[in-house]
Amino acid sequence: MPETWDAITQQEEQDLTNLMSEYDFAIKDAERFVDMLQQSLTDLDVANVETVMASEKGAVQLMNMLDKAVDEISKIDDRLGLYEKKLSTVADAVKIMSRKDSLIQIETANVHKLTDALENLLGVQDFSDEDIQLLQNSDLTNDNDRAACIQVANLLTQAVGVQLQPGMEKMAAIKQRRELLEQTQRSFSLRCRNFLSSKFVFHAEGYGEHFELGGNELPRHGEKITRPLLPFSPLCQWLKASSPGYFKEVCQAYVSQIRPIYAKEIHGFFESARLGVTKGAIAMPERRAAGSVSTLNTIRRDRQSMQTQAMSGVADNDPFSLKNSTREFRIRSDKIFDRVLGQIAPVVREEQLFCVNFFYSADEETIAGENASESTTGTENFRSSGLKHILAELFEPLDSEIKALIGHVKNVDSFTVLYLFVRMNEHTIAVQNYGSFLKDLFAGNLILLKREVDSYVSEVCKDINDYRPSRNRRVGILPFVNYFAEFSDEAEMIFDKSSRAVDLHRAYKTLVGAIFRGIEQCAAGMANDPKTPHSMIRLENYHQMQHIMGIKKLSALDAEKQEARKSYNAAKAEYEREYCGFPFERLHLFFERVDELRKRLAKDEDVQFQSDCSIIELRRLVREHPPKEVKRGLESLYKKIEKHLSEHSSLMQVIWHDIQTLVIGEYERMTKLIEICYPNSNIHLEFTVDNLLSFFTETAHPSH
């Protein structure tokens, strides 16, 4: 194996250098240097041995001290062992004592719990025979007895509803007592149900002998039915908490007694409203008793008679006129509809508050007291549909009667649905906090009326699409254009300040689009008619639409206004081009040929040397157009335009002014061409601009 060696450290290297520096010969005579080192090592060993021998006595003393320390440690170890043995016995005793204390505490707690449970059970179950007799035999119509019964019944409910500890229900005494309490509760629940049902029958029969039929107001039940029943509401409240089945039967009993009353009143009220729509407000000559067959039959006969008269008065039904029925009829219908809705809301509201207070149909905190009508908290926080179900059954005829009234008004005058739509929207907003039943009732009919409005607009659009003017007769302003003027005038009044103006704007756009298409269809159908040129149909009717939309400031129809203006200008230009010639037509044609020749010839003066445009031909034509002839031509043109236009049309002035501008412009053009193409010919037209202006004025305003 190769030798291994360790490198010396820096300190060892320094020491070795110092040693060798002391002996200069170390490098020259290594053996001598080694001998010297060996001698120094021997001297050191001798010194160490001498030192050890000198300290022998101290070493012996140290050994003795160590022996004593070992003896002391042994004694301490023995003592610690003894202590440990004694402590182990004490720990066992402490553990035993701790377990006994825990058991004592558990036992004490169980005793207390058992005592409390027994005391509670005995306290709740301690229901005296006097209390049972009170529930069975007390007078529920007496306020004091009824209050005592309610208090005892609540204690009975607590006793029956107490939760028993497991196993207690097997105890014979407790089992027997519980059966007695449950039987008592069932008996009192049945008694409450029968008592409340009898009260409903009593008040319904008493009210039924006095209620009025066919009046202008929907009767209230507060004085004769609901207010006398309110003192018995605690019985109903207890019944709901204790016997839900009997409570449901009580609700059904109330509905079965009150619903027929509402049905008769609502039917009579709406019969009166429908009759009022036909012939005006009904002033009943005298108050007539409920159930009076003669009263109802009289109303029905009057209604049938007035319907017959109303229908016979509109035999010739014009789809493009709002005059089939008067505005007075529409306003009267609107007022009656407003009154009907205004009567429905308070009656439903009153019944709703009674149901909340009496039946406690709301699962949240309920409203109590006569002043609760100003609050809606209890009626808005329902978790169930109990109240809505009761109201829906009580007022079942309302929805169908409202729809029947709407249908009745629509059959007489379909435009009136716009009035009803706006009025229904106002009442729907007003009842937003009156509970879900009334809100849903009005909202459903609002949707119906919105559909009726859309249907009405669709029917008008269909009539516009189907309309065709009679041939060989002057057309003039189309009837559906005049209809739009009537429609927009009355619709703006109806929807003034209404939140449903957007629906009116949508109807406007639909109608105007149909009218524009109808104008084009009518114009196309009259393309070859001798009485009214198709361009005149477009001209007059687009001008009228532009006028209607502008004068009524219908901002929602800005785009349609621009379209009407564009179509009007195009139709006017087409009509003037095709039918409005010049009163000097042969001169006009002559100078048209002059213009064509100027484009082909090198010089303008060369035109006079052409045979068909010679000076001689020009002189002849000038002589043929004296002022009298020009005036006669203007009069003939004016009469032709008058035949095409509808009577009293404002367009005559517009078209006549345009023709005047064209004629004077043509006169100036012809004069200029004479100067350019026939210089030094001394030819002048026999009429002047002043003559033309005078002719135009005299023709438009003839003296009689």
SS (H, E, C) 286-303: CCCCCCCHHHHHHHHHHH
Number of H helices, E strands in the chain: 25, 0
Comparing 258 with 285, the larger pLDDT belongs to: 258
What pLDDT sits at residue 26?
58
What pLDDT sits at residue 239?
86
What pLDDT sits at residue 595?
83
Comparing 496 with 471, the larger pLDDT belongs to: 496
What pLDDT sits at residue 557?
84
Average confidence (pLDDT) over 642-660: 76
Dist CA 676 CA 17 (whole Å): 139
Q: Which amino acid is at 66?
A: L
Dist CA 580 CA 575 (whole Å): 7
Q: Which of 264, 261, 277 has the alpha carbon at shortest distance from 340?
A: 277
- What does DSSP assign to residue 578? H
Dist CA 81 CA 178 (whole Å): 69
Encode pLDDT of 156-179 as tens digits.
777 676 665 565 555 666 677 777
- Position 454 pLDDT exceeds 90: yes
Helices 327-359/386-394 angle, 10° precision: 130
What pLDDT sits at residue 462?
92
Q: Quickly state the pLDDT bin for 428 (edges 50, 70, 90).
A: very high
Q: pTM of the entire structure?
A: 0.67
Task: Determine which of 27-31, 248-252, 625-629 has the lowest per-residue pLDDT on average.
Answer: 27-31
What pLDDT sits at residue 288?
37
Residue 610 Ramachandran class (φ > 0 left, ψ -120 to 50 alpha, else beta): beta
What pLDDT sits at residue 571?
85
User: What is the residue-averaged pLDDT of the chain?
Assistant: 78
Range with top average pLDDT, 122-131, 572-581, 667-676:
667-676
Average confidence (pLDDT) over 594-606: 82
What pLDDT sits at residue 122?
57
Dist CA 170 CA 176 (whole Å): 10
3-state helix, strand, coil in the chain (%, to 5): 80, 0, 20
Q: Which amino acid is at 687?
A: F
Dist CA 641 CA 654 (whole Å): 11
Average confidence (pLDDT) over 414-435: 90
Dist CA 180 CA 36 (whole Å): 128
Dist CA 503 CA 95 (whole Å): 90
Average confidence (pLDDT) over 673-679: 86
Q: Which amino acid is at 393?
A: E
Dist CA 573 CA 667 (whole Å): 20
Q: Which of 33, 5, 38 has the alpha carbon at shortest distance from 19?
A: 33
Name the 3-class secondary structure at 554.
Answer: coil
Tokens of 386: 């109990």
Query: Any idea which residue has 């484009």 for tokens?
Result: 599
Query: Any idea which residue has 């006095």 for tokens?
Result: 210
Task: Determine which of 28-37, 217-226, 461-470, 621-630 has the lowest per-residue pLDDT on average.
Answer: 28-37
Encode pLDDT of 308-358 as tens digits.
444 433 334 566 667 656 788 888 999 999 999 999 989 999 888 888 888
Cβ burial of 141 (10 Å; 0-12, 13-18, 19+) is: exposed
What pLDDT sits at residue 665?
87
Q: Domain residues of the chain, as ranges?
A: 33-126, 129-272, 585-700
Dist CA 598 CA 677 (whole Å): 8
- Position 643 pLDDT exceeds 90: no
What pLDDT sits at residue 400?
92
Comparing 294 with 575, the larger pLDDT belongs to: 575
Comparing 212 with 80, the larger pLDDT belongs to: 80
Inter-residue contact 36 to 20 (CB < 8 Å): no
CA torsion angle 559 563 566 568 (round to 10): -130
What pLDDT sits at residue 335?
92
Average confidence (pLDDT) over 82-94: 76
C-beta neighbour count of 44 within 10 angstroms: 8
How crowded is the C-beta side of 645, counted as CA atoms within 13 Å?
A: 25
- Position 565 pLDDT exceeds 50: yes
Q: Which amino acid is at 535?
A: S
Name the 3-class secondary structure at 650.
Answer: coil
- Position 633 pLDDT exceeds 50: yes
- Position 363 pLDDT exceeds 60: no
What pLDDT sits at residue 169?
58
Comparing 156 with 433, the larger pLDDT belongs to: 433
Average confidence (pLDDT) over 619-644: 83
Inter-residue contact 482 to 540 (CB < 8 Å): no
Query: Any idea which residue has 């909340």 for tokens?
Result: 356
How crowded is the C-beta side of 16, counted as CA atoms within 13 Å?
A: 7
Q: What is the CA radius of gyration of the chain?
A: 59
Inter-residue contact 692 to 663 (CB < 8 Å): yes
Collect all residues with Cβ–Cβ distance below 8 Å to 247 and sequence separation of at least 6: 236, 239, 240, 359
Q: Which of 283, 405, 424 has the alpha carbon at shortest distance from 341?
A: 424
Name the 3-class secondary structure at 361.
Answer: coil
CA torsion angle 394 400 403 409 (round to 10): -100
Range with top average pLDDT, 339-343, 645-649, 675-679:
339-343
